Structure 1
Amino acid sequence: MPGADAAAQAWARITVPYIAQRPVMRRSPDGGVTFPRSSSKGYRYEVAIQPWLPNRPTTVPTFDVHTGTGRLLVLDLDAGRVPAEAAADRAGHVGAVADRAVALIEECGGRALVDRSPSGGAHVYVLWSAPRPFHELRTLARALALRFAPLVDTSPMESGDGQIRGPGAPHKSTGGRLTGFMTLTCSVEEAEAVCSRPCGPRVWEALHVELAAELAELAGGRTVVASHPDAPQAPLDANGEPYRLRRGGRAAIRADLEETARTGVFDRARYVSSSEARQAILSSAAARGWRLEQVRARLTPGGEWAAIAGWWRDDALLTAEWTKAVAFAAPLSDASAKTPAVREVGDSVRGRNTRETEITPPDPQRVPGHRHSLMTCARRPQPSRSAEEGRVRDLYFVKPGGWGGTQVRSPAPWQAREYQRIRTWWQAVRIVERLLELEWGGKGLVYRALLRAFGAAAQMSGSTVVEFGTRQLAYMAGGIDHTTVARALQQLRQGPYALIDLVQEARGVRADVYQLVVPDAVAADAAWRSWRAGRIEALHPCFRVLGLPAAFAYEALAGGALTASELSTAALLPRSTAYDALRTLAEHGLAERTADGRWRRGDADLDAVAAATGADDLAAAQLDGHRRDRREWHAFLGIVHDPGRATGSRAHRPVAAPDGRRRPGRRRPGASVRRLAPPWLKPPPRTRPITEADLPRPKEVDVGLAELHQQYAAADALSQRPSLPPDVAAAIRDDLAVIAADEDRLHAERHAYEVELQALRQARDERTRPAAQARTTGRT
């Protein structure tokens, strides 16, 4: 058959070593219609993979079902899904979409393979350098399906048991004859070169940035990365720069603005100066899904927009105006378009001052509560004093060596690097949890809950340095006792996989300060950015009653519907524990089963479940206990006066006011206050039995030791012992001399002390004798 030799080469050199995620293959019993694992009678169609070309339609697995991971992302472009308007050339339309998919991967820095089927369909393969969890690859495949809809069939990536015909595999058979093979669009040597250099974390991250709009749609409208309170009201790309999501990816800017960007010539009837023209170009690019790095690439020497590169004096101004353009390009339904963010100003591009960064910041006295933006605009009404009093924030910093020799004061932009480090640490947590699952054993649930509390604390503080007390961490970790948290912290900061580091111990009212740490052993794997929807959440109070396994099962269902087996792998729970957790979630409406047997999150509200189960009362009781401990500790430190703990102090007794009412007295400077330690701070009772070491030594033992000392103090006694080596005897003699000298010195010091004490007493008596005699004479 024509092409059989090339197909055999592709099967042996590409599919077997690279595409197959397990060393097995499935042979179709019906000519390529279905690919079951076995028949109803027990005949197995899944066998060990062989390097020679199969004689019937065969598939290979897209995931490792045992580990729940895979290194392959495949797009199945089905010719039967071609729209009606392109039905005249189905193969051509499929090929054009495949080229667009490959161009997208290459734009993100990656590499992809394409093979074509005799029916006109195609497969696009992307290999990764590290195994990725099943649900992450499935989510990415769904996002690509939205981008290239409706051609992509996500069936091969929808299950941990997914299958795909690899390059060289027989396609279908009709009447006992094969219809053809899956044919590579490049040579086998080129395909081997692509497979030998799989895509890394940078490609993974860039691809998620490119598909951010589709990923947000899959997440129900939520952004694919958690936002920080001080961040711009827009998603951030891999470089920490804001941009606007756009379904379908980047589009071309307006034609007249594109012409201006290429030539540097703008319509002066429409734009007063180049400032307005350049801001219009940035706003058009931002509204059409561009990112700042793509704009910079056009402005480089030799780039398509090199003619206008000189319109920005430096990259700082370009960054500032881009942030402003992103804020201006917000859709009307976006809340950030109605309520200006920290960096959003102006109602229109033409009404803004875009010529230069302000040298003088706005006067806080003239604009009370003004939250400085990148540029100011006189047309925007300033907030009133009553609404914004007390909210002045100085976001300026002085840029040394500024433009024209002046000290330019420009707004200090929000730095996304700290938050990105938190997300990298969160990815490292996921890796370490899997590595230490068996070592942690039964304590693993507590450790994992505590790590989520640390992640939530880092997000709340916007820093990788966390200063939360054990009681607050215990509250955020689902009601764990604070003493258990203290022991768990010691474990988590030890060993080669330590995820936290104690940088400063607690003192006074300040808690221990911890630094989030990415272990060196997993630093390379943690570079894969974690693109999970929403924030890093601490455990909800309702799981105090439902249990920690239910909490982690509920967390795993955030990525989409899973089978019980897949959830067990994703949540790191034993199979039986996963079933019990799903049953518990289903009883309270937090999980429901789909028609195809998978599980997904239910519609029940966590707060309502907490109120129904009484978990909110348990959380409130724990919080009250923590507050009571804090009050006692503060009273012990003398920071807050506790009347019930120092009633005997005269300095705090209430005194009468002139109007007859009682008022608390003021403590005199230097007056002592009786402060009792909190009950939980007292030392624990003795738990070990009393031994002889704890008892006083008997007198006869002291007498025996004294006699022995006198016996060995004489030099003659030492010389009469032939078994004692001369060097040992000399050492003992020197030690005894030192002891004798110390005793003489102590005796002399004690005598001098007594003499001095007697002299002080005589001086005191001489001073007090005349007064005593006077009192005696007066009485007589």
Structure 2
Amino acid sequence: MVHGTDGSVATLCLDLDTSKAHKAVLEEDIAQIRRLLSGSGLRWVEDFSPSGGRHVYIPLRERLSASEARELVEALALTAASLDPSPHQNITDGCIRVPGSIHKSGGYQILVTPLSEAYDIMRRRNGSDAIARLQAALMPELRRQKELAARRAKAAARTPHSVPAPRPGAELPLRRVARTGLYDTARYKSPSEARMAVLNHFSACGWTREHVQNELTGQFPGLAALYGTPANQERLLSTEWAKAQAYASSGSDQNARTRKAGEKDVLINNTSPTRLTGGAIKPSSAAIHQLVNDLENILYAVLDHRLQARGREGLSLRLLIRGLLGYMRAKETDIVDVGCRTLAVAMGKHHVTIARLLPVLAKASDGILTKVADARHKAADVYLIQLPEHYQQQARELTWRRGKIHAIRPVFRALGDAAALVYEAIERGRRSPTTAEIVRTTGISRNAITKALADMEALAMIRRDEGRWKTTSVNLRDLATRLGVQDDYQAHISRNRRERAAWHAYLDRFLDARMMETDLYDYEREEHWIPPDDAALWLAA
């Protein structure tokens, strides 16, 4: 039994099971857990089972409560796909098979740690300071676990008790295959078919080969396990990715040709740059980048201070203008014609919020953002971003800032708008700022800034050096993955696809409608013309 009579825990028991993930993924997980425990100063005992699973036992000097142990093991499970947290999720019946026990498939649990060393570890147990270091290392996962628990509780409160509450942010099946390496053998006859399905999925989502290559050692080790060996992966990945891209493009073309009015499998409308007419000249790439730099100067010097007075709405407006400038630099155009749903995904907000903020920002920007065309059919509103004449001299006198401007980077979907602006103040400041300087620069309340700084310091995003804040070398993208932002991002995209498909299907209902002559003629309209008499013409002359 894992828990005592009072529910407390004297040993943390980690059960890595091959039923949860592919054996190759399990081996990667156990290696990662070893590194994590060793880096926290913890000692552990390890065994393995005939089925290929692994058990890790972490003896504790001070007993942990059931809730603390459960939180810690569930946080570890977020980093290891093969880790089964169920022994610590059941206080009354949670148990684990110890070394030397008979395995249900035959054989015994075999101790990996030398017996004398295992005896010493169980006798001289780990202190609370080492557990505190482990909790600090797992801070992103602990935060993510609390947010997931809060979402489940909120969903359960909204759902009648007779109906099971939906699981928020449910993982897509092919993403689960890429993460664990386990697939439905009734649907895919071999690992080759399963990994091609995963690659087709990633290609349809707009991924690149480099992105897939990076995630093979990141959040999707199961896809790498489906290749069997690194040699097979290196030999086959390029060829299979080319096939996946060809399949995705051919599928898109075929869907576009065979789409019928009223169907709900309508494609996403990828808005394209507006074609200029009337002899207009498209600005060069260098001119666009210089314009964005000048607009950043005006943003920091003037516009930010004006928007600070708008409170919470001002935070969203400041990040929205940053997102538009980032889009402008990336696409090298001063014409923005992306839809509210696309901006909502980039901002981590609801599209209704974006639709409400855009007109407000256009009015408050003092000529920087101007609406030039209304949305029509599947096309979005079109906005022009320019530097007004009364700001040109001021923009030239100010020096450009280092670094890139961002709207909401993925990690700040979890940390909030205030944290995004605070991090930007530290990252793009001309020198490392103090807390008081951040308050003056951002215009955010000191309480909100103190909380944001504490959260980011706990996640090792920033550090304090002689009273001044500096950024660290932590990878924000990996941190966002650990915080579970990817699940929210995919859920947001899936919701947009469904809503956009329904809207496009509604619009396509009218494509096949043929207008007859009778539809144009109004029987009640007087169309004959009565000519004026000669007297009226003479008077008019």
Q: Normalised by the shorter chain, which TM-score bucket?
A: 0.3 to 0.5
TM-score under structure 2 normalisation?
0.40
Higher relative contact order (CA 8 A, sep 6+): 2
Rg bigger for which structure? 1
Query: Which structure has greater helix proportion?
Result: 2
